[in-house]
Structure 1
Amino acid sequence: MKINLTGNSSNIIGQKFSFFTAESWLQEKDDFKEKLNGLFVAKKDETFILLEENSVHYLIGLGSKPQNFEVQACAEKFTYDFRKKIKATTTLLNSENFNSDQIESLVKGLYLGTYEYPFKGEHPVFHSDFSLQLNSVSEENLKQLEMKVVAICEGQFACMEWLNKPQNFKRVPHISEFLDEISEKYNLKKTVFDRKKSEDLGLGAFLSVNQGSSQEAAFTILEYQSNIENAKTIGLVGKCILFDTGGISIKGSENLHYMKSDMGGATAVIGTLIAAAEMKLPVNIIAILPITDNAISNTAYIPSDVITAYNRKTIEVLNTDAEGRMTLADGLSYLAKNYKTDVLIDLATLTGSSVRMFGYTCGAYFSNNDSLKKLLEQSGDETNQRLWNLPLWDIWKEDFTSDVADFKNISSKPFGDCIVAGKFLEQFIMDHPNWAHLDIAGVAFGNVRYMKEKGATGYGVQLLIDFLENF
């Protein structure tokens, strides 16, 4: 995407985008307002097209007193809805009525709205011969705006693309090759433990899920290092189940094709790494992606198995469809033991319980640190990638205490599974004092405008980037 300053006013502008809040439209003095005579009143998502002598002028309504994420959503909807009408030509974005945060939201929304699936590798609007001109931003600020918007959007596009891919296009070699590419591009340190190395290290919980697979294990570590001395270090663990059959505790067939989405935590982490590296954020990031699928075979792990995890705790398997917490357990304990991090966060499309509780409105989250809770909630509210806190009371630990091991991997009770899962994962953080678990099962994959059925929402990338900027 190219963003250029407005040239001489005599330049021919191919098309114009003018966004108005209900309040700013009331104060508008231009002649075209009188000509419209009430045909446009700047309601949310309202669009009116004016044909002028040398250009097409799009008027887009934002509604009354919109928040920044609502500005972004309106711009995103406009670009997608009019993607076949908008021309790849010089375009003036009339931004005089907006502050810097609102302008960023507008441009970000315009870019995100260009996403279509299957992804073509280039966006239908913002490609090389499209120039978006702003008339109220200094050249220095414009460069910063372009860098940040492109970074966040490219990170979110990668997140969405990898979650949307069919299962046979995102097997272990496919995603490993992609991670090689971004590691080279962004100078990330990449380490991979295959099945043999994982066994040598004692990653038993992760390997229990992988043992039924025909695919090689790939316990992957990606490290982004900033150039800032004494920078804070963030540890991220993303659930990366490439496809989840449920294992021996097999899922029903009705919506099984959606289980290609069970790596939503990992794709959010991948997108965040890309955006952070593009933006050169002054933090260090250690990301762990325990990559495998959860398959059915004569070697698959079985209910009643007792597994020894990386931290030497034993786990009685009651349900092989609770595989995400098994892989995350080893990811968390390996990261907590081998790296010094200021914050430890895991993200996972983990439980149907969180979906039944919150639907598609927000993610459930758990944390042992009040300051971390506040920062995450602030970022959730700012980006509309919202979170709601649930308790980690010790009484829940009784529900997964085992007779034959330290823990069971599920509770036998028919309620509170997302809380049980969070409390279970707490047993593997090696007493890290600043940890949060984000269950994003209901928000990472759902109804989207660019697909007839469900697709990736991109949830997590903007949330984590905003968090990293404020941390």
Structure 2
Amino acid sequence: MSINYRNLTCSTADALVIYLLEDNLAVSNEELNKNIKFAEERELFKGKNGEIYRFTRALDNTIQTVVLVGLGKEENLTLDNVREATGKGVKKVKALGLKNIFLRVPHTEKINLEELIKTMATSAELASYTFNKYKTSEMEEKELNISISRCGIKEATKEIEEAINEGVEVAKGIIIARNLVNEPSNVIYPETLAEEAIKVGKESGFEVEVHGVDKIKALKMEAFYNVAKGSSKEPKLIVMRYFGDKDNKDNVLGLVGKGLTYDSGGYSIKPTDSMLDMKSDMGGAASVIGAMSIIAKRGLKLNVIAVVAACENLISGEAYKPGEVIGTMAGKTIEVVNTDAEGRLTLVDAVHYIITEEKVNEVIDLATLTGAALVALGETTTAVVTNNQNFFEELKSASEYTGDKMWQLPAFDDYKKLIKSDIADLKNSGGRFAGTITAGLFIEAFVQDKPWLHLDIAGTAWTSKNSDLGVKGGTGAPVHTLYELAKRRSK
């Protein structure tokens, strides 16, 4: 897909998408205003947030489809409104089989022009996303050509061109994560996930180092290895490094993504229905790869290291079993009470590794960790557990800008009692109550008092239905927020 400033004009596009505010249903074109007035008088379109209306008009020797999308009242206008309107408009035009689309930037004092254009570019890319590569009967999709501008403006400033470029690059990072999550587990497994990380690193400008089972054993990553050993596919420790601030190499942000490329539950086996989408259990890994891509492409002035402990959780004569006591890279012992609480076992070794070996100063871990997060917050909100309130407020501010919803859960010491073991330092599950919290606090036991955020994306990394900005499957959340947090730190 091509998104540009002005390859098309209001009159040369197959489709014209017009954003309208509820309190200003007018554009600088008399003919269009008559049509808009017609729709308003017949109560077909009033500009309410999320409202959409389509008509056609004769134009020279052809016809043009015009799509009106509502933004609501200007006083309530947010970037989320712009995202929704863009998604609705692009999906409507795409469904009609049209390929040359002009998105007419709305006139508003509420949001500056560059922010509007950047958001429209990101949203247009995401709304156009599909994952049909395995449908042999699927017709080849038309390549979309989208221009974003205001009718009558001829020249793009450097700021506008940069806004479009950034918006597109953000979307492409999100799409990297979506594609990785949507690939089936016979295509993406530890080795191929590592290959994809290497490929993205080369294209984006960050270093990737991959360690196999011998190095994992040498590092004494026993928890990680115990989860992995039930599969015939070798685990991989994937380390991604980006140093954009080489004068401050001691100041490094750490990202850790859960990389279970498939999770059967092990001997604590999942029911079949719960296994169908378990290719998505590496959503955390996909998100950090996508975020690293944007951070490196944008050349941000900060240092980021990301780590993924990639493996499968399967059943075999080698697989770990409930009741076992296993070690960790940190030296702590863990009683395994549930082999389906495996992600936290891989994460604690990855967290310990990134702190002790890569010397990061703070850590964000991302994981499709608990069904409890989905039960509590649904598919719209990421659960967050932290040991540092300032770090959380920084994340929250970035997420409010990007539209990724976050909700902080309590981390009281009382919850830590639920993961105490009678025979080991910890047990890997605290039971049904407060499952998302206890899973997070299990990881906290290995962060060595570093500022830490745990993002449980079990509900947000995957969606069960189509939306304005995507389709059923991987969402790419919260890639945009990770990038935005990094961008705000970039000097």
Please, what TM-score do these two structures have when normalized by structure 2? 0.88
Alignment partner, residue 20 of structure 1: 20
Q: 1:41 aligns with which of 43, 46, 60?
A: 46
Alignment partner, residue 289 of structure 1: 308
8 Å CA contact retained: 1:119, 1:161: no
8 Å CA contact retained: 2:174, 2:479: yes
How far 1:454 sits from its partner (Å)? 4.4
Amino acid paired to 2:56: L
Alignment partner, residue 83 of structure 1: 94
Q: Which range is displaced more, 76-85 or 307-316?
A: 76-85
State the identity as a percent: 29
CA distance in 1, matches of 2:324, 2:266: 13
Alignment partner, residue 149 of structure 2: 134
Q: 1:259 aligns with which of 275, 278, 297?
A: 278
How far 1:321 sits from its partner (Å)? 0.3
Amino acid paired to 1:214: S
How far 1:304 sits from its partner (Å)? 1.2
Alignment partner, residue 238 of structure 2: 220
Q: Which range is displaced more, 368-377 or 344-353?
A: 368-377
1:97 aligns with 2:107: yes
Amino acid paired to 1:217: P
CA distance in 2, matches of 1:353, 1:423: 14
CA distance in 2, matches of 1:9, 1:307: 64
Alignment partner, residue 455 of structure 1: 473
Equivalent positions of 1:297-446 (< 5 A) are 297-412=316-431, 414-432=432-450, 434-446=451-463
Query: Do the aligned partners of residues 31 and 254 (structure 1) sit closer, same or farther apart at CA in structure 2, a change above 3 Å counting?
Result: same
8 Å CA contact retained: 1:46, 1:62: no
How far 1:173 sits from its partner (Å)? 2.9
Query: Do the aligned partners of residues 228 and 70 (structure 1) sit closer, same or farther apart at CA in structure 2, a change above 3 Å counting?
Result: farther
How far 1:174 sits from its partner (Å)? 2.2
SS at match of 1:255: helix
8 Å CA contact retained: 1:83, 1:124: no
Alignment partner, residue 177 of structure 2: 159
What stretches of structure 2 of length at least 5 have no aligned partner? 135-139
Query: Do the aligned partners of residues 10 and 393 (structure 1) sit closer, same or farther apart at CA in structure 2, a change above 3 Å counting?
Result: closer
8 Å CA contact retained: 1:111, 1:126: no
How far 1:4 sits from its partner (Å)? 4.2
Alignment partner, residue 137 of structure 2: none
How far 1:425 sits from its partner (Å)? 0.5
8 Å CA contact retained: 2:26, 2:33: no
8 Å CA contact retained: 1:317, 1:408: yes
SS at match of 2:322: coil
8 Å CA contact retained: 2:194, 2:210: no
Query: Do the aligned partners of residues 10 and 125 (structure 1) sit closer, same or farther apart at CA in structure 2, a change above 3 Å counting?
Result: closer
Equivalent positions of 1:100-249 (< 5 A) are 100-119=114-133, 124=141, 127=144, 130-135=145-150, 138-226=156-244, 229-230=247-248, 232-249=251-268
* 1:56-103 Cα distance to aligned partner (Å, 9 max, x none): 3332222333310221122123212331325333x4332251432222
Query: Do the aligned partners of residues 102 and 295 (structure 1) sit closer, same or farther apart at CA in structure 2, a change above 3 Å counting?
Result: same
What stretches of structure 1 of length at least 5 have no aligned partner? none
CA distance in 2, matches of 1:10, 1:17: 9
How far 1:14 sits from its partner (Å)? 4.3
Please, what TM-score do these two structures have when normalized by structure 1? 0.92
Amino acid paired to 2:107: N
Q: 1:61 aligns with which of 54, 70, 75?
A: 70
8 Å CA contact retained: 2:5, 2:161: no
8 Å CA contact retained: 1:3, 1:142: no
- Cα RMSD of the aligned pairs, angstroms, is 2.6
Query: Do the aligned partners of residues 162 and 10 (structure 1) sit closer, same or farther apart at CA in structure 2, a change above 3 Å counting?
Result: closer
CA distance in 2, matches of 1:10, 1:168: 46
SS at match of 1:291: strand
SS at match of 1:421: helix
1:51 aligns with 2:65: no
Q: Which range is displaced more, 11-20 or 379-388?
A: 11-20
Amino acid paired to 1:174: T
CA distance in 2, matches of 1:408, 1:7: 60
Query: Do the aligned partners of residues 337 and 284 (structure 1) sit closer, same or farther apart at CA in structure 2, a change above 3 Å counting?
Result: same
How far 1:408 sits from its partner (Å)? 0.6
